[in-house]
Amino acid sequence: MSDAIDTSPQAVMRPTGNSKARIIVSSLVGTTIEFYDFYVYATAAISVFPLLFFHSKTSTGALLASLATFGVAFVARPVGSVLFGHFGDRVGRKATLVASLLTMGVATVIIGMLPTYAQIGVWAPAMLAIMRFCQGMGLGGEWSGASLLAGENAREGKRGFDSMWPQLGAPIGFLLANGFFLFLTVSMNYDSTSATTNHTFLVWGWRLPFLFSAVIVALGLYVRFKLQETPAFEISKSRGQVVKSPVATAFRTSWRQIIQGTFLMLATYTLFYLMTTWILSYAIGKTSAGFLGIGYRKFLIVQLITICAFAVTIPLSGWLGDKVGRKLFLTTTTAAIMVFGLTFAFFLDPARVGTGDSADIARIVVFMLIGMALMGLTFGIQSALLPELFPTNVRYTGSAIAYNVASILGAAVAPFIATWLATTYGPGWVGIYLLAMGALTLIACLTIPETRNRDLVTIGETSAEALGSAAEREPEMAGSH
């Protein structure tokens, strides 16, 4: 059997069942649901779980314990990337996307039904951590599948823009999740600075966003069941390039790309969780602990307004990535993030910004707008860039592992480290931390080739190692094993 890949127009044309609209909706709706579930937990981890699930002598101790369970998902995400990446590269993108969505959705609904610490003691945080782990596994397989769905069906020369649709799920999911919480806190007259644990919101209101996940998961499943497989995977399968162990093959043939992809995402992840999770805890935390003491509802409105800068710059990122190239664009954006890290003391030091009702909200809004805009610019192009580093037969696995290992190094520890730095040395050092992570990403940017013009079907075609040896391929495709 010849190992040559048929790259004729007839071979690579988009399956008739996957119209452009269906690809956009399927990739966008799925990641919107995944990020909705993730942000619902992130918001509750700051404002609800420290009060209901963790027993501590101090409020800071309870917050740190809650943030630790928040980080559990990031430990689970590489596990999910290996599990779902294996099936995504062996069975196909469609079935794996359905499975990852179900894993995340079911775990989120169960969280909405969990008893609290006051009801069952230490079993409450234990069960919460287990469900959080399942959430992380689901998200670990979701992003790469959605990115491949969009990228492997992209128009020629437009892959950066066409691949950005899954990235839009992040700000949309954030708006849905936090908008829901805002609606509940307003309608239930909940004030985080003074409410007790017998308040209606803390008794049952907080559960509604988690339970609502069942409705939108059903919608996501309906859309994805109608998908057809991507052309790149179908060609790889027809040519006998599907390997028995995508994980082993990825680490053997694409280990450099996995390392590069991991560090390419490091500044993105760090910035994002500083601007969504840590900043919330810092803004609404008690002034006695060195925080700003702003009301939860007031700051949530700030987040909902400024997240729009994130949404607007994601399409811009995809467009610019196509125009000037991935490498130059991401290098420039990363340098801007490093400069932004130097402004944290100016924008967030309590001595400058004030605290409580006297806090300078305008200054905080400017800070958030800059950070969210930079987040959109660095995040939008990643769904095109990371998959472009890998050949088809390990693309799901390789991009998923890189993306999710970066989540441990950049996101899992970011809120915890930032909280410690802010309380110990002040918010300026949180910015220095961001600058350091940006420096590592900058180095990674300088080591990668430009991938804008790569053909996703033929990446690795001339390398026997990249395609996997005959012994690694499926027995029915490559002969005896």
Evaluate if residue 230 carries a pLDDT over 80.
Answer: no
Report the mean per-residue pLDDT for the chain. Answer: 83
What tokens does 355 get?
């605290």
3-state SS assignment for residue 372: helix
Residue 373 in any domain: the answer is yes
Evaluate if residue 463 carries a pLDDT over 70.
Answer: no
Evaluate if residue 208 carries a pLDDT over 50.
Answer: yes
* String of DSSP letters for 270-336: HHHHIIIIIHHHHHHS-GGGTS----HHHHHHHHHHHHHHHHHHHHHHHHHHHHH-HHHHHHHHHHH
**pLDDT of the residue at 409:** 87
Identify the residue with better confidence: 107 or 90.
Answer: 107
Over residues 403-415, mean pLDDT = 83
Nearest residue to 53 via CA among 123, 112, 4: 123
Over residues 471-479, mean pLDDT = 45
Residue 233 in any domain: the answer is no
**pLDDT of the residue at 15:** 45
Nearest residue to 352 via CA among 343, 360, 340: 360
Identify the residue with better confidence: 47 or 461.
Answer: 47
Identify the residue with better confidence: 275 or 191.
Answer: 275
What is d(CA 443, CA 121) in angstroms, rounded to the nearest whole number? 47
User: Confidence class of residue 88 from pLDDT cuts 50, 70 and 90?
Assistant: confident
Nearest residue to 441 via CA among 390, 399, 372, 378: 378
Over residues 60-65, mean pLDDT = 69
pTM (two decimals) = 0.81
**pLDDT of the residue at 108:** 87
Quick check: 304 and 478 in contact, CB under 8 A?
no
Residue 160 in any domain: the answer is yes
The total of structural domains in the chain comes to 1
Lowest mean pLDDT among 84-93, 103-112, 383-392: 84-93
Quick check: 381 and 326 in contact, CB under 8 A?
yes
Percent of the chain with pLDDT over 90: 31
What is d(CA 73, CA 66) in angstroms, rounded to the nearest whole number? 12
Residue 23 in any domain: the answer is yes
**Domain harbouring 178, CATH code:** 1.20.1250.20
Evaluate if residue 478 carries a pLDDT over 50.
Answer: no
Evaluate if residue 444 carries a pLDDT over 80.
Answer: yes
**pLDDT of the residue at 216:** 79
**pLDDT of the residue at 148:** 81
Nearest residue to 443 via CA among 237, 244, 208, 259: 259
Identify the residue with better confidence: 466 or 274.
Answer: 274
Over residues 424-439, mean pLDDT = 95
pLDDT tens, residue by residue, 159-185: 999 899 989 988 998 889 888 888 888
Residue 12 in any domain: the answer is no
Range of the domain at 398: 19-223+240-478
User: Confidence class of residue 153 from pLDDT cuts 50, 70 and 90?
Assistant: confident
User: Confidence class of residue 2 from pLDDT cuts 50, 70 and 90?
Assistant: very low
pLDDT tens, residue by residue, 244-293: 888 888 899 889 999 999 999 999 999 998 998 889 889 988 888 788 99
Residue 8 in any domain: the answer is no
pLDDT tens, residue by residue, 41-60: 877 877 788 888 877 656 66
What is d(CA 357, CA 362) in angstroms, rounded to the nearest whole number? 13
Evaluate if residue 462 carries a pLDDT over 50.
Answer: no
Residue 13 in any domain: the answer is no
Evaluate if residue 439 carries a pLDDT over 90.
Answer: yes
Residue 467 in any domain: the answer is yes
Evaluate if residue 422 carries a pLDDT over 70.
Answer: yes
Evaluate if residue 445 carries a pLDDT over 90.
Answer: yes
